[in-house]
Structure 1
Amino acid sequence: MNIPNKITLSRIFLIPIFILLLSIPFEWGQLDIGEAFLPVSHFVAALLFIIASTTDWIDGHYARKYNLVTNLGKFLDPLADKLLVSAALILLVEMGLAPAWIVILIISREFAVTGLRLVAAGEGTVLAASQMGKLKTWIQIIAISALLLHNFPFSYLGLRFDIIALYAALIITVISGYDYFVKNWNVMRDSK
């Protein structure tokens, strides 16, 4: 297994730690972030989420730079993104920081695209992530990070950047899902 794929696997292995940080009520104190308080465990989870998300760029850059792109990587990389983003969004709903309906739409798109990829794989075709799909992932990461940080540092300005970013993520997620299906519909149409 090459280095980019190992980096991708490390992202997957960070997900349970991230989940534990947000699920177990650690009493590490709180940070004053203006109009509210941010539990230290949420701050640590947000940092871990940002680090894990950054590995998405690192593994892709390394794979392209050293010509180490593999079918395993094309499969694992979007899967790791979907697992990390889905876990974060579900936990944000549980914490009351994200509306469930938005999370349902975002995760539904992820399942639909994964289903299309599985059909394509059954036909011997690997569908790589599109540029719009990559943009979607980064906007989701920004929104989730802002929500995990309880809108810090924008809370000092009275700007609900976290909610604005979440709606932007929803819009680009829907558009990129539509675009992905339109461009790859032949896979469904031509499947046996």
Structure 2
Amino acid sequence: MNEDTPISRQLFSIPNLMGYFRIILIPFIVWRYVTAETITDYYIAAVIIGISGITDFLDGFVARKFHMITKVGKALDPIADKLTQGAIVIALSFRFPAMTALIVLLVVKEGFMGIMGLIMLRRGKMLDGAKWFGKVSTAVLYVVMFLLILVPQIPMKAANGLILLCGALLLFSFISYIPVFWKMAQDS
């Protein structure tokens, strides 16, 4: 299976099924966290996030290893990532007010990425996967979100420090993508 495989077959590839599964997990993560009353409830939310994260790793691994990279998968994977990140950050903002700034930064960065991606797509170009700075920012965001859920009794100062770290890396990633898109625009 590859990008030239008919869309109808691409929809049900194993990596894409894993992407759908990650999207289905989102309401369960949010519900379990927002309604948590005990430490066990928080642990269950963290386990569901862990399953989502493992599935995220596996869908990319399987797609590359077994030559199942598809156009659908290239669109689905980042959509599942962003929906998961956004939902968890919003859920965490109910307990950690500093998350609100992270939400704004995420919306601005992802809005920029989406708009620039569409502009480049209209010009027949496409960003060739996430860059290292985007991957680092995303990985740290997931680790911090996981920790904030797994350790609900974390001191607010420590939580705010972790959120600040995420914000700094997210801002760095956003700023680093600007010249990438600029170069793509100049090459067209």
TM-score (norm 2): 0.80
For the 8 Å contact 1:12–1:83, the answer to whether it is kept is yes
Q: Structure 1, residues 5-30: CA drift from partner, whole Å, max 9, x if none?
A: 2111211111122222234x36xx52
Structure 1 residue identity aligned to 2:80: A
- The match for 1:96 is 96
**Pairwise CA distance, 1:182:** 0.9
Taking the aligned partners of 1:49 and 1:111, their CA distance within structure 2 comes to 24
- Candidates 13, 20, 29, aligned match of 2:24: 13
Structure 1 alignment gaps of length 5 or more: 32-39
Q: SS where residue 77 of structure 2 aligns?
A: helix
- The match for 1:56 is 56
- The match for 1:37 is none
Q: SS where residue 177 of structure 1 aligns?
A: helix
For the 8 Å contact 2:32–2:44, the answer to whether it is kept is yes
Query: Matches of residues 120-135 of structure 1 in structure 2 within 5 Å?
Result: 120-127=120-127, 128-135=129-136
Query: Matches of residues 1-80 of structure 1 in structure 2 within 5 Å?
Result: 1=10, 2-23=13-34, 25=35, 30-31=38-39, 40-80=40-80
- Candidates 166, 172, 176, aligned match of 1:175: 172
Structure 1 residue identity aligned to 2:181: N
- The match for 1:138 is 139
**Pairwise CA distance, 1:4:** 1.2
Judged with a 3 Å threshold, the aligned counterparts in structure 2 of structure 1 residues 124 and 9 are, in CA distance, closer, same or farther, namely: farther
Structure 1 vs Structure 2 CA RMSD = 2.5
Structure 2 residue identity aligned to 1:135: V
Taking the aligned partners of 2:44 and 2:97, their CA distance within structure 1 comes to 17
Taking the aligned partners of 2:29 and 2:86, their CA distance within structure 1 comes to 12
Structure 2 residue identity aligned to 1:132: F
For the 8 Å contact 1:12–1:80, the answer to whether it is kept is yes
Taking the aligned partners of 2:59 and 2:15, their CA distance within structure 1 comes to 4
**Pairwise CA distance, 1:188:** 5.0
For the 8 Å contact 1:62–1:68, the answer to whether it is kept is yes
% identity of equivalent residues: 27
Query: Matches of residues 149-160 of structure 1 in structure 2 within 5 Å?
Result: 149-150=150-151, 155=154
For the 8 Å contact 2:90–2:99, the answer to whether it is kept is no
Structure 2 residue identity aligned to 1:114: G
Structure 2 residue identity aligned to 1:177: F
- The match for 1:35 is none
TM-score (norm 1): 0.79
Deviates more, 1:134-143 or 1:63-72: 63-72
